[in-house]
Amino acid sequence: MSLPAPTLQTPRLRLRPFGDTDVDDIYALQSDAHALRYWDSPPWNDRARAESFIGACRQMEQDGTGVRLAVDRLPDGAFIGWCTLNRWNPDYRSASLGYCFEPSTWGRGYATEAARALLGWAFETLDLNRVQAEADTRNVASARVLEKLGFVREGTLREDCVVDGKVSDSWVYGLIRREWQPAPERPLPVPTDSVVLRDDDERLRSLLDDGWTVTARSWAAQLDVTPGHAPRWAEVLAGLPPTQTCRELRAADVPAALELDAATATDYPGGVSTAHEPLTVARATPTSGRRGFGVLDDGANLVAMTFADVDDEKAEVDFTVVARHRRGQGLARAVKAASLLALTGDGVTVVRTGGSDENRRILAANVDLGFHVDEHWLTLTRAGRDAPGPCSSGSRTASEAVS
């Protein structure tokens, strides 16, 4: 029995069946060694592989074993990746989820948004009970996508992949129908007519000429760690009063982290590029690949926290936030300094962060800690639309509430 591939649309993306005109785009993606560094097979080196891939998409539909959809970005229609639901077994009512996206689009929430749309279609259309997904244990970003979608890590496949002679492990994730949430736990409005571009993007002038307007500005920064940074971080921490403790968060701190996150969920300035994804239990639980740090009043009440995703020697700040009644006291700077001391002590050499131009204090705090701004981003809104507010997906690199 065949399974026709659907066309789906989200606020920022269009998912559609692959066509013959996608050969060049899919070959460019699947031959990119950086994009496939955690893949279960080597990058392509033969363009004929792209033609076979599109043929396999059609065969998958005809056989009724799954669907594979190209993902285009709105409003420019650019191909940015693909998402698949395959290994559909109607007897077991199970299937597998997979996705692959252009490296230039990583960190923007596109994989989460596309996969959520495909899962929503699958749970509504098929008598689906379980979806499984696997991720290389080094691929912390992909694991985070799955956890945002509600998947639960169920185990590890030890040394299950050998690519170019390199052996790797995989995490196994599962999502059961009763655990599926079609929308985030605390959905916020998502603008349907906005786009985020770097300020040097060649498409910017055309959009401005077509009547789009800049409604928010944001930045991204990088810290290249040197021995000279640590003394300043230690100095910042030493400035905390004796009643406040700064330490790494533990599993026991999850309820406090969720409470602080809920209390400050609407406090992040800027538009879609700096929007904050509300914490879930999975994302609030510290792991070796996701580290959390907090400031506690009297050693008990969590009043500031920061979370960072760690991938070998690189880390990316997810968000930093301070309780409203404790802002203006330098706690954001202090908790971030603590995180930097711990992360770099464990071998991290590069840290990325970002935020809204509206929050000048947090920008100054990051510069003081050693970050240098290397990217500027613009949120554009189509003429006649209101400026975008916070949304539940689409963070480009980090979100920071006022310090």
Confidence at residue 349, expressed as pLDDT on a 0 to 100 scale: 92
Confidence at residue 199, expressed as pLDDT on a 0 to 100 scale: 86
Q: pLDDT, tens digit, for every residue of 294-316?
A: 999 987 899 999 999 987 788 99
DSSP 285-304: S-BTTEEEEEEEETTTEEEE
Q: What does the radius of gyration of the chain's CA atoms come to, in whole angstroms? A: 22
Task: Specify the DSSP class assigned to residue 43.
Answer: P
* Peptide bond before residue 231 is cis, with ω within 30 degrees of 0: no
The pLDDT confidence band at residue 193, using thresholds 50, 70 and 90, is low
Confidence at residue 189, expressed as pLDDT on a 0 to 100 scale: 38
Domains located in the chain, CATH noted: 8-179 (3.40.630.30), 194-400 (3.40.630.30)
Q: Is the dihedral of CA 359, 360, 362, 366 positive or negative?
A: positive
Residue 388 or residue 22, greater confidence:
22
| Averaged pLDDT, 285-294 | 92
The pLDDT confidence band at residue 283, using thresholds 50, 70 and 90, is confident
Confidence at residue 190, expressed as pLDDT on a 0 to 100 scale: 39
Copy the structure tokens of residue 272: 């879609």
Angle at 219 between CA 199 and CA 75, to 5 degrees: 50
Q: Report the alpha-carbon distance of residue 49 to residue 57 in Å, rounded.
A: 12
**Helical packing angle, 331-345 and 360-368, nearest 10°:** 40
Examine the pLDDT at 401 and tell me if it is beyond 70.
no
Confidence at residue 392, expressed as pLDDT on a 0 to 100 scale: 27
Confidence at residue 398, expressed as pLDDT on a 0 to 100 scale: 46
Q: Percent of the chain having pLDDT more than 90?
A: 61
Residue 236 or residue 144, greater confidence:
236
| Beta strands, E only, 147-300 | 152-163, 166-176, 194-198, 213-224, 244-248, 290-297
* Dihedral (Cα; 262, 263, 268, 274), 10-degree rounding: -10
166-176 sheet: strands from edge to edge: 8-9, 13-17, 67-73, 79-89, 94-101, 130-136, 166-176, 152-163
Which of 72-81, 210-219, 335-344 is most confident? Answer: 335-344
The residue type at 287: T
Examine the pLDDT at 388 and tell me if it is beyond 80.
no
Q: Report the alpha-carbon distance of residue 346 to residue 226 in Å, rounded.
A: 14
Of the candidates 187, 306, 191, the one whose C-alpha atom is nearest the C-alpha of residue 257 is: 306
Residue 272 or residue 325, greater confidence:
325
Task: Count the neighbouring beta carbons within 10 Å of the beta carbon of residue 329.
Answer: 18
- The answer to whether the beta carbons of residues 153 and 172 sit under 8 Å apart is yes
The pLDDT confidence band at residue 183, using thresholds 50, 70 and 90, is low
For the chain, report the end-to-end CA distance as a whole number of angstroms: 57
Examine the pLDDT at 26 and tell me if it is beyond 50.
yes
Q: pLDDT, tens digit, for every residue of 207-253?
A: 888 888 999 899 999 999 999 999 999 999 999 999 999 999 999 99
Copy the structure tokens of residue 70: 């190209």
The pLDDT confidence band at residue 88, using thresholds 50, 70 and 90, is very high
The pLDDT confidence band at residue 289, using thresholds 50, 70 and 90, is confident
How far is CA 261 from its chain centroid? 17
SS3 assignment for 204-232:
HHHHHHCCCEEEEEEEEEEEECCCCCHHH
Examine the pLDDT at 188 and tell me if it is beyond 50.
no
Confidence at residue 130, expressed as pLDDT on a 0 to 100 scale: 96
The residue type at 97: L
- The answer to whether the beta carbons of residues 270 and 319 sit under 8 Å apart is no
Examine the pLDDT at 393 and tell me if it is beyond 70.
no
Exposure b/e, 97-136, CB count within 10 A at least 16 = b: bbbbbbeebbbbbbbbbbbbbbbbbbbeebebeebebbbb
Query: Please, which residues bridge with residue 351 across strands?
Result: 223, 315
